[in-house]
C-alpha cells in the first residue's frame, strides 16, 4: 500500500488520502454557529443553516447555545457561546474521540520537560 494516485505495478495499491486538516474542514461544515456571528460576518453560514431539511445526518453534530449545556460530552465556550456535543449522541462522541486519537498519532517531536519548581530555603 502506497500513498499516491497510480500504483507502479500490480503488487501495489495506491491510495490518495485526505490530510487531517481536510477532514476537520469537512466536519466543520456542519457545526451550528450563532446567527449573530453569521450576521456580523465572523463566519460563513454552515451547511446546517443552509440545508432546508436534514436528509443526510452529519458525521458529527456540534451544537451551539448561549448557556452552558447541562449534559455535554465535551464543551467549549467561545465568544459568549458554548459549542458542545450531547452526551447521548454516540456517533458524534465516537467521531470526536477518534479525531482526538488521530491527533495523538500525528504529534511529532519530543515531549517537553515539566517545569522544575525551586523553593529557596536560605
Per-residue confidence (pLDDT) for residue 85, from 0 to 100: 93
| Secondary structure letter of residue 40 according to DSSP | T
Question: How far is Cα 61 from Cα 94, in angstroms, rounded to an integer?
Answer: 11
- pLDDT digits over 69-112, tens only? 988 999 999 888 999 999 999 999 999 999 888 888 777 766 66
Per-residue confidence (pLDDT) for residue 92, from 0 to 100: 93
The ranges assigned to domains in the chain are 18-101
Task: Tell me the Cα Rg of the chain.
Answer: 21
Per-residue confidence (pLDDT) for residue 84, from 0 to 100: 92
Q: Is pLDDT larger for residue 16 or for residue 111?
A: 16
- pLDDT digits over 23-71, tens only? 888 888 888 888 888 899 888 887 655 554 556 778 889 999 999 998 8
Per-residue confidence (pLDDT) for residue 54, from 0 to 100: 58
> Quick check: 118 pLDDT over 80?
no
Amino acid at each position: 500500500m502506497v500513498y499516491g494516485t497510480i500504483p507502479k505495478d500490480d503488487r501495489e495499491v495506491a491510495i490518495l488520502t485526505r490530510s487531517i486538516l481536510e477532514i476537520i474542514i469537512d466536519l466543520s461544515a456542519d457545526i451550528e454557529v450563532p446567527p449573530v456571528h453569521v450576521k456580523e460576518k465572523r463566519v460563513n453560514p454552515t451547511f446546517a443553516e443552509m440545508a432546508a431539511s436534514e436528509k443526510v445526518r452529519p458525521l458529527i453534530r456540534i451544537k451551539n447555545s448561549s448557556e452552558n449545556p447541562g449534559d455535554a460530552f465535551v464543551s467549549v465556550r467561545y465568544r459568549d457561546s458554548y459549542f458542545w456535543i450531547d452526551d447521548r449522541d454516540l456517533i458524534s462522541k465516537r467521531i470526536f474521540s477518534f479525531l482526538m486519537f488521530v491527533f495523538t498519532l500525528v504529534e511529532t517531536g519530543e515531549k517537553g520537560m515539566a517545569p522544575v519548581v525551586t523553593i529557596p530555603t536560605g
